[in-house]
A and B are shown apart, each in its own frame.
Chain A
């Protein structure tokens, strides 16, 4: 794994949260977020994603542990820490009677930044909200409200952006637009932490992926490494003549029959130097087994996720 060239922009150490109900939502989280990356936090409902984000942003009081943002402790140096962060919450919580322009300008002021209509305009344009700038928020659709929340979070030019399920309930076209916005932000140097239930979103966007379950960080990995490491590949050999059983001579391979004996499935590990494919194909023809097609299937992040979380359940 390539070592981070800069100190982490967020360092989370031993973070735990027990709610007043006695429920342990976070159980000692250790996590470093690297400067400039897109980090996707995956996990089933109730895993603790929102709690983790809320703690870093100052909405949830940690029961134990520390968080520092660019070296600023979120408790003792909260002003400096929070000034760097923009937060887009999971719920669509907006004012109703304010205009888009007013609410975004409010956010900028709240974070102590001087008025800058040019910046607000840039943000609204990038989110295709410019023609809605004088509309009251309650007249907007859900997807537009979501973008208003993003605009509010970007109003003070944060260096770190938390997106808690930014594309929940957003149609496919708009989701693609949002991905573009997120990439653009990352290119401008903003570190992005997002949660999502759409695994293809993480697969598409993230540099690194963390999986959280029952308040514990089960895994943190570079996306590519993760997919390679856990990504088993399957080779499907389509047979001319269906087989009843795997022939004796081939028992040395991890082989299975599928498709009513019309295909042999060979599972191999892409990490290994030798996958054994050449040898297998040679042995097949030696055994007189004739085939007319080959397919390979790579397990997706979704399979990995379901595997991991399923094992623990």
Chain B
């Protein structure tokens, strides 16, 4: 139940202020690295790659790259946001306050998702400088953007509660999120894979996110957009269920 809005706002503002202190690091580095991808894969190599599904390669990779950024940033922001107060011990205050689990999640995850959405939009604007972009379904584009940011911020929140050291906090994004995104069709259409691998690819949840997001730009997709949406929502529900369980049992939060 969400009734203590002042608490949600306090956590949200606190988290956004934390990002504000490291503004340069949190905006410049993702924008720079994504720009490099555009230059290397879009402009340099892209010249030699044919259009995919009628979309120039440089433009084709834009949705995938934004998804890559969105996923890694959401997980990183949210996991760090909740792990750090656990690490320093300041979490005691949140746990002893008259706040519900929903309010805690809303504050932390809302802030993490906001940050990655803003970043995603900045990178989208950056991309428009390099390649001609046309967004076929802006509303769907935003929907996927927001849903993905929220879902993976929830995943980051889970990781931040589960992690019992900084290694784990960094290892999961490195070992799980990045490979899933690269193999999820950031740089290619699943359709170019040999058939058995196409089937394997379909167990990768990120495939559905990128496919749906790309569809909102170019109306080309590896899977139907409805399936993309359904899978995203299913993943979101799964994350919520895990968080609910964690709070109910006090997992790693209460002794």
Contact = CB atoms under 8 A, between A and B. Distances in A.
A112 B93 contact: no
Interface string B79-99: 000000000111011111111
Interface in B1-34: 3-4, 6-7, 9-11, 13-14, 17-18, 21
Interface string A97-126: 110001000111111111000000000000
Interface in A60-93: 60-61, 78-83, 85, 87, 89, 91, 93
B250 interface: yes
Contacts of B7: 109-112
Contact size range, B: 20 to 34
Contacts, number: 79
B50 interface: no
Interface in B211-255: 250, 254-255
Given A78-B98, A112-B4, A87 B92 contact: yes
Contact of A57 (B10, B89, B96, B255): B96
B89 A87 contact: no
Contacts of A152: 93
A173 interface: no
A83 B98 contact: yes
Contacts of A60: 254-255
Interface of A: 19-20, 54, 57-61, 78-83, 85, 87, 89, 91, 93-98, 102, 106-114, 152
Given A58-B96, A106-B14, A111-B7, 16 more contacts: A20-B255, A54-B255, A59-B92, A59-B96, A59-B254, A61-B250, A87-B96, A91-B89, A93-B88, A93-B89, A97-B21, A98-B17, A102-B14, A102-B17, A110-B6, A112-B4
Interface of B: 3-4, 6-7, 9-11, 13-14, 17-18, 21, 88-90, 92-100, 250, 254-255
